């Protein structure tokens, strides 16, 4: 099973009090997707993009949202220990926070790529994850983390951050996530995504390589409550 989440720190109530109705709906959708993933698997592989580049982060790691204003600590696994890293990658902060919110003993391993990772690199990581999941007797959940266009989508026409192509890019992603269309995600243009600050492009292309045809998609949320587009979806394998 796959859950697709965005990565805005405003998901965490301690970091964004007095949330708008749109943010409350986003939080509810994220909680729903995470709970479904925890119901299907207690071991997760979380895929996100980070400027620190390609690396793996084990479930013993801990981080903190201190860099975003409040020292909310998160752990990637029940056995994590040591001091919380205040510079922990944002996708894994969201992964640990979402896992904790399920109330289940979830263990998360992070797989990070640079935001500009070429499509073939994303496909190679996806193929490796797919092979691992196929050979493992334990059920593994895939958590895919990243945002859509972050250039003022949803604001009034003429907003200085609005870029040509943002709405079209997000529309393709929405349709692909709703239909579990792996091919459409694999075809996303890396250059366009970078110009739109869409951090989800590389993780979504990993998702495409892990899954392929025959999956079912369910879009739980897609909106731009504060000028960046956030998608929440769940994919399940076909029978």
Q: Hey, what's the torsion of the CAs at 105, 38, 147, 211, to 10 degrees?
A: 130
pLDDT at 138 (0 to 100):
81
- The number of C-alpha atoms within 13 Å of 112 and in the hemisphere containing its C-beta is 19
Burial category of 109 from C-beta neighbours within 10 Å (exposed 0-12, middle 13-18, buried 19 and up): buried
Question: Could you say which residues of the chain have pLDDT below 50?
Answer: 154-161
Answer CATH for 2-237 from 3.30.230.10, 3.40.50.11900, 3.40.830.10, 3.40.190.10 = 3.40.830.10
pLDDT of residue 136: 80
Paired tokens of 121: 């690199």
Domain coordinates of the chain in residue numbers?
2-237
Q: What are 117-176's pLDDT values in tens digits?
A: 999 999 999 999 999 998 887 899 999 999 999 876 544 444 444 566 788 999 999 999
CB 109 within 8 A of CB 47: no
The pLDDT of residue 213:
87
- Averaged pLDDT score across all residues of the chain: 91
User: By three-state DSSP, how is residue 113 classified?
Assistant: strand
């Amino acid at each position: 099973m796959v859950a697709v989440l965005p990565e805005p720190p405003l998901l965490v109530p301690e970091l964004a009090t007095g949330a708008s109705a749109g943010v409350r709906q986003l939080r509810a959708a994220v909680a729903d997707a995470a709970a479904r993933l925890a119901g299907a698997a207690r071991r997760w592989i979380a895929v996100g993009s980070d400027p620190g580049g390609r690396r793996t982060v084990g479930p013993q790691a801990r981080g903190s949202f201190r860099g975003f204003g409040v020292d909310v600590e998160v752990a990637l696994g029940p056995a994590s220990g040591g001091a919380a890293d205040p510079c922990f990658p944002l996708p894994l902060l969201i992964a640990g926070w979402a896992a904790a919110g399920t109330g289940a003993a979830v263990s998360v391993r992070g797989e990070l790529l640079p935001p500009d990772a070429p499509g073939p690199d994303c496909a190679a990581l996806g193929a490796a994850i797919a092979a691992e999941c196929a050979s493992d007797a334990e059920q593994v959940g895939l958590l895919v983390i990243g945002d859509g266009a972050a250039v003022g989508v949803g604001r009034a026409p003429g907003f200085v951050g609005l870029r040509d192509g943002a709405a079209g890019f997000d529309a393709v992603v929405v349709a692909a996530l709703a239909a579990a269309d792996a091919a459409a995600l694999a075809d996303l243009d890396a250059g366009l995504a970078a110009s739109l600050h869409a951090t989800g492009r590389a993780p979504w292309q990993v998702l495409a390589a892990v899954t392929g045809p025959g999956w079912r998609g369910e879009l739980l949320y897609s909106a731009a409550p504060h000028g960046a587009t956030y998608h929440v979806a769940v994919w399940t394998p076909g029978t």
